[in-house]
Structure 1
């Protein structure tokens, strides 16, 4: 057994009073004991001693389970005593144990794995969500539009013709025009696609609309909407936790951020669908050109492209234009009469409710 003290440069607080004791410190390979006039502490196993650091060159130690217990050396403790003690924790005990550099590398690996799982896990989870649940969710969201679906016999026939040409069969269940003044179309869960009247008002031709609709059909076929919902809104919404906030979920859908791979795959489906239907891709290429602001808007869009989920509009325009066969004779997606019926669907349907503005 080794010992040191009592000495003025070694003191102890027992955690029970504010009295400073000047103990004898006795130790062996198992642990340490303190003894002073009228009291003692220990023996305490080395594993119960905590390194607390110190100020002014002091070395301070605590005891597990005893908040006020302190053993303080004015300088460093004896070498054969210190060899049994834990080192003061600078960054945290396990970080000190492996080193700061290795800890930073480990954190970086863990962070990368978390990001990878956040990005990839929704794509793995989505296929296992029962179709019945997805259909219920889509129907609930569509029902929140409250009688704003626009339909006349002529517009319904035109829309069915367009959908048939573009492969709009199962898993696509319903394609509808809705009285919303927004330049957009959205794929809902459960194979529902909504075309907003604001998009029809901006579209220059049925060929343009055909490319946009085919893109949304691509999202449905790839089940991208469910993957995006899982990623952004959480499984609680997907599994039925709407809590009456269906409108909020619809707004969330409008601002969904698909992955760039999903967007490119949906564009790829659209290009292939237009080719099968013998519809020129030039119309939808013009749409992307307008949405991106043309050549004037391209620099700003490219500057912000690292934040965007969609590929740059100029790149999408180029992809569609490259698919056009020079000198080939294409057919229009709809006749002038059919196109006119779709454009006027929300005005000619006398039962539809007034337009609603959705906020993003």
Structure 2
């Protein structure tokens, strides 16, 4: 594996991504949408939406069994919208009063790196690296060599491109692989982190067990995990409706409680050094404020652009822009459907947060015993 390249495993996924998105890297939502192969996009849309016909146990089991197809289909559809609305770091964060959006995003990544002791010269694994925003930031911040693992070929293509633009092609690798069966030897990494990614796994134990295996003895794993809080009641229909909205809108086979997360860490052998819900720290600025679309809560003028897309007017404009682009052939059929389930995601996340049912920032640091 050469630095800054994508592995050639999972040839079918890579071929599908290239057929859908093309080989050339493009910038901007319109450029990316207009370049899609309409027929292949229809396949991706149908594949994803058919997994959500019902919210019952049978369909849930199917989604858990087909989690790689579920997550790949989701990110083939959603990645361009994520970058359009959120930049290249696909995660939430805390905000200080007056703090600009992207500065807060970077600080959140620095906080994780500092808490697991990432330093220059270390070999670090980013589990579920997206398009590489956090990997690049942490590589710059610490001087470590960061390996990004991701099962979505389109995101890996973009991650590699962005790293090269920032001069990080010799300090990063982006590798295609399933985080339930990582393509690494035991005891390979000096540190491992995951930022809002391992929630896509069918079980916490499966992905945490693989992280434990590839981490060197005495080294640390830090994570921001998506969990349902202790307030959540699986038997409460309204609670379950919110959880289902989070799952469908974010490509997650099953949302799980905080207790299951902690127990899974212990079961695979980790020693938990610290854990806390950073979404529930009494902050004056709620982590979900950009999703609410309330321009009055923007911290800076620059943040208005991020929040504007989530206002009622912004949603209306984006949806109808997609509808027009579909009609005139500049966006493939299914683009409006993608925009709709992303709106479902935003509404469910806000509702879950406001009712203290959900956190995207259950933070923990766990250590692999030196023995």
TM-score norm. by structure 2 comes to 0.26
Of structures 1 and 2, the larger Rg is shown by 1
TM-score norm. by structure 1 comes to 0.27
